[in-house]
Amino acid sequence: MLLRLVASVLLGTACLTVSAHDHDHSQQNGEAKAFDIQQAWSRAMPPSAPTGAVYFVLKNPENEADRLIGVRTERAEKAELHTHIHEGEIMRMQQVEAVEVPASGQVEFKPGGHHVMLFKLSEPLAAGDHFPLTLIFEKAGEVTVDVSVQEQAPQQHGDSHMHH
């Protein structure tokens, strides 16, 4: 079961990489375009939980790779970029310094993969809440998104990988 999850996460990444290159946005102007951050959500947690996780989809409109190098939010004392790595059949979380977003590509932050980890929450993450999260990119600078706290992952268009 665990192996199946790992396999589907890897496949998911491969699919995204391929589909990102299907679109040919031949932009000629040199103006900076805003980073597109979609479906920012955080899983609702019991009031006793000291930590939380935030997920989203990063879409890079530029013909140049960028890197997400930091995060911060008023909702938590500390926010870190995390990913999951597998050691044999075990998956565990690890902090990463940066996450590369390919030129005209996208990176999905989702359960079992990349996520933003929140430590020392100022308030519990209750379903229906919203809070701002600022993402810091090496080239694009800072982008603040509204995170929606919900019980379930948002429905993703065309996502056929279901996890239980």
Interface with Cu ion by CB under 5 A: which residues? 82, 93, 117
Cross-strand bridge partners of residue 133: 145
Cα separation values, 61 from 10, 20, 27, 32, 125, Å: 24, 11, 9, 9, 31
Q: Rounded to the nearest whole angstrom, what is the least distance from the CB of residue 93 to Cu ion in the complex?
A: 4
Residues 113/124, Cβ–Cβ less than 8 Å: no
**50 contacts: CB under 8 Å, gap ≥ 6:** 119, 120, 121
Nearer to Cu ion, 80 or 138 (CB): 80
Q: Rounded to the nearest whole angstrom, what is the least distance from the CB of residue 117 to Cu ion in the complex?
A: 4
Nearer to Cu ion, 68 or 140 (CB): 68
Q: Rounded to the nearest whole angstrom, what is the least distance from the CB of residue 113 to Cu ion in the complex?
A: 11
Nearer to Cu ion, 105 or 115 (CB): 115
Q: Rounded to the nearest whole angstrom, what is the least distance from the CB of residue 100 to Cu ion in the complex?
A: 18
Nearest to 83 by CA among 108, 65, 120: 108
Nearer to Cu ion, 6 or 15 (CB): 6
Nearer to Cu ion, 92 or 164 (CB): 92
Q: Rounded to the nearest whole angstrom, what is the least distance from the CB of residue 46 to Cu ion in the complex?
A: 17
Structural Rg of the chain based on CA atoms = 16
